[in-house]
Structure 1
Amino acid sequence: MKRFNTAPYVVLLQRIVNGFRRRLAPLLRGSFWRTLETYARRIFTIAPHERRTESLQTIFSVRFFVSLLGIVLLALVATNAIWLLPSLNIIKEDVVKGQIAVAERARTAIPQFISYNQSRLESTSRAVATDPKSAKHILEIFVSENTDFQRIVYIDAQGFERIRVDRFGYRELNTANRSEEVGIQTGFSGVPYFGPIFYSRGEPLNSIVVPIIDSNGNTSGTLEAELSLRTMWELMTTIQTDTGFRVYVVDQKGNLIADPDPSTVLRGENVLYRPVVQALIDAISAAGAKQIVLPHDFYVQGEHLNDAKNNVFVVGIPLANLNWGIFAEKPTAEAFAARSRTITLAGAAFGMVLFLLIIVAVATRNVIVFAGAVSREQEHIANILSNLTAGIIEYDRNFRVRMINSAAQELLNIHSSDLIGSQVLPQWLLEPDRRALAQLFFANENDSRTEEAAVASPATITVTVKQPLERNLRVTTLPIFTKSEAVTYVKVIQNITQEILIARMKSEFISIAAHQLRTPLSAIKWTFRLMLDGDLGALNDEQKDIVGKGYEANENMIHLVNDLLDVSRIEEGRFGYQFAKYDFRGFVKKTIETLQIELDKKNIHFSASVPNDIPPFLFDIEKLRLAFFNIFENAINYTPTNGTITLEVTKKPGVVEIKISDTGVGIPQGEMTRLFTKFYRGSNVMRMQTSGSGLGLFLVKNIILSHGGDIHIDSVLGKSTTVTVTLPTNEEKVPKSEKVFQESPNVSSLLHTETLPVL
């Protein structure tokens, strides 16, 4: 037995690859085939370090390989034959059906065209029968209005022409008696007649004869009209434009009478030399000789060379009542493109399977290598997760835990061996050992959810747990998407106990400092007031100016202290809202009256629009007045003298919308996201001589949120600012507890926001 020699088979493989490459070049890039060649060489070449024994090499003898290749080839040929031959037949049937459908469109439209024109001619014959004296006028109108007719002739009951109206001005009557003509005789018998194709001025025309029946029911003559087929040419052009098929019509002699190219018709071209045309005309003639009608589904098919010497595939169907044939043709390569693709696909599949024997060996080796790499990568990711300080829990939509890292186990005082594969249940809130974990998923033990709510973006809450120690945890839920659907979820757990403690200490410090400053500032205020009022002696103008500036600066400090105290109360959740139903229109009116002095100081043009039909609704009149004072204060401070401020209140379903617009300095677009944060002031107003603490909009945002409303600001730098506030008129929409605006993801904004209860 000969040893395995790889060289001949590598050459054979290259030849097969090159052959398929030439055939499939439009479909596959050459680099693909070169890769296969490389793999094949690596398989057929036995590396020295892979050679084991002499017997292993002798197994792969020439005879064995050739036998195996022959079996595979026979199996492939048989497999391809099973599906390829029926597929090719189906493709041909579909092509024929498609071309029949296109030809059928013409077969439907042509009788409609002829019937329509015949009906117009019959209508004219009735008009002539009714008013014979006006016959000439009626026929002239008919020819002028019906462009499909070239000529119309009025023939009396004796067979003589009485009136002839020609579109080209030829009106000389034929003096011969025409009563013996077939069409005239048919018309005298009271039956319309549609004659064969004849040519006039090189154009194919058709003769239509209809009887003129008087009021007594007698035939008093006939109307003979010459019908132009140009409309049919336009129909063929339309069909070609819509479908891409060339559709043409021939008469019983094989003459072209309608075609997308009118020049072929005007040349009087005869296409009877085409086998498909000859076959259909023969069938129509044979059916006429036997006085039978061809079946509606009768068709002929075939191929021939067109004038451009290109092979075209043609399908023809009869227009039996006229003895015409309708043909639809298309270049064979285009018509049977699917067949070519199918054959190419079959060849490609045939070649591909041959290479599978080679690729499987390489793939097996690669799979082993890849599995090792995946294992190392998984170990690497596991090491990263285990060393993270943040807790990570992965679970599916049914709350079944799939992974939990060591940090999460430590924060929640649980062990992964007890959880992996387990479904987290609301009842765990009642179990001390698993309560902390359940708090991340459910608000209380009566929560009936069985699936995670759909979330499109990360959602963050804070949770307070007591096991093993009391801790504040920030939990962010992240959906893990496959395409557009979330398949798993990850909870990222961070211990923010220390950060919350620091934030609380800062808030308490601000509160204490503000309280301590309030008393001396009040004393300073009254001292300045006594001096300005002259109770401590008269002051000259310069002294009054200095004391006045001191008084104003002290007032700003008192205002800042009050704002700090308000912020502190809001963050501690004890701002103390007192809700009741008030008349909003009256509230707006009193607010405007309070601000009128400040408006007059800068000569600001102010206008307000408040509807009368706003019913009383629930709000805290003092807190809401504070919010609107801050909004108007900003508008007045940052609107130049002689500017404009407008107030527009609109009643909408379930809410009241308030828009406050000004023509002030505006807000830089890059700073819009920071508007409602504490101590923020626009970079453009910092250069202006205006006072402010930067706390006003933070207070406004929190007051509006605690009313169940919302606030939005639009601004164009240097031109205008519009503040839009919406307040609910339904008291059920007003929160039962105070809400604190989350100015950022920092812990300080989460102290009293969406915090789950301690269990």
Structure 2
Amino acid sequence: MQNAKPKILVVDDEKGLRIGVQRLLEMEGYEVDIAENGKEGIELGTKNDYDIAIIDLKMPDIEGIEVLKNIKQKFPNTVCFIATAFASYDTAIEATKLGAQSYIPKPFTPEELITEIKNGYQKRQLLLEEEKWRKEREERLLEVAFEKTRLNTIINSITDGVLVVNKEGLAVLFNPAVYKFLDLSELKVEEYILDKLRPEILELINKFLLSDSKEKRSYTIQLEIKPNREFFIEATASPVFHPGDNLAGVVIVLKDITELKKIELIKSQFVSMVSHELKAPIASVYGFLKLMIDENIKLNEEQKKDYIQRSMVRLDGLLKMVNDLLDISRMELKTVRREIRKICLTEIIKNILELFQVEIQKSNISVNFNYQQNSFCIDADADEITRLFTNLISNAIKYNRPSGSITISISHTGNFLLTEIKDTGIGMKEEEKKKLFLEFFRAKNEFTKNISGTGLGLSIVKRIVDSYAGKIEVESEYGIGTTFRIYLPLSVN
């Protein structure tokens, strides 16, 4: 029994019976409320949750069946007895349908009443226990439903593909990303999926499904889903075990590694190009030095001087290449030290033109520098901006035609400072423009074969412009000339 006293409601219009039952039950340890008619019985019975209710069948205002109906509607677990001396078959059926425990025939002895009450209270305890378990079960079901919903939300929000396959080869859990990674148009829960998978992934899953091993390890493979390196994935399969270490299924996680593969290819190509570009000048210098120290070859002083000068030119180009590579590496790693301050772009370009004055005069190139009288200022590192425009102006000179021209202009456009460098040089073909900012790319034609360079200058230019949230545009026509437009954010103040 519970620690609290069982609560009983007695509804009867006979005062003597009502009071007598109250005293008897209170002596037995029960807490008893009484009602002298049906109306009062309904009020008490629907207001308080009684353990047991004893209801007289015949009362002058409202019959006991109606009282029973109202109490059971409000408190279904209250155990109700109908007390009457006029029980009939029809009323017994009706009372039972409404949830009455049984009849207590009048007159009854104290022992008969106590026995019925005890049996009724046991039934009450069972009903309460059943209610408790029902609520707990509902709560657990709600928790399971919530966990499932939360799991689905998490799984569906993952950009990687997630697929869980049970021992029978059925897809028991997956997210929308699986359609893309496995190139599927449709998939249903508990649908057989093994016949829809690529052979490589199927082999990965079968490492677990066709094995009795309880080893908790994962297997990973990389696949090219679309040709020409358009779509690469990495598939990782791991076993899922029941609590008893019996295999429940396999979970496959699919990742898009297309960009990683592209980077790997670029790195491989970059290393190959660096090796090639370093090898040529080193081999050349080595050849000159070998000729100079060969005792069987008699060289005069003029020839030796020529070989030394050629070696110095090669080594100078090699040094520039190494410095350019170091600059690119620092930019990639974001370890470049900058001193950001307000700088005047017109002054920087004037200084660069003075630096190249000898080359300009040697090629008889005319230079027009157009700018307004007011200063054009940007917030930047002076050395970086000097490097940027030195590369562009140097190219405009090197790749120009004899007696050609270079036009440089600076103007405002929105929140940017636009610098335009136009030359009348050899220009570029359309396919060359697409590769213009790639490392080591140099246009190769009859005009460029005698022009030296590392092929890294414009790559550095592009990185510098991008680092300032700027933009660079190129217009070029083969045999006519090239125009570079550089947009850099104006100084805030």
- Common fold, TM-score beyond 0.5? no
The TM-score range, normalised by the shorter chain, is 0.3 to 0.5
| TM-score calculated relative to the size of structure 1 | 0.29
| TM-score calculated relative to the size of structure 2 | 0.43
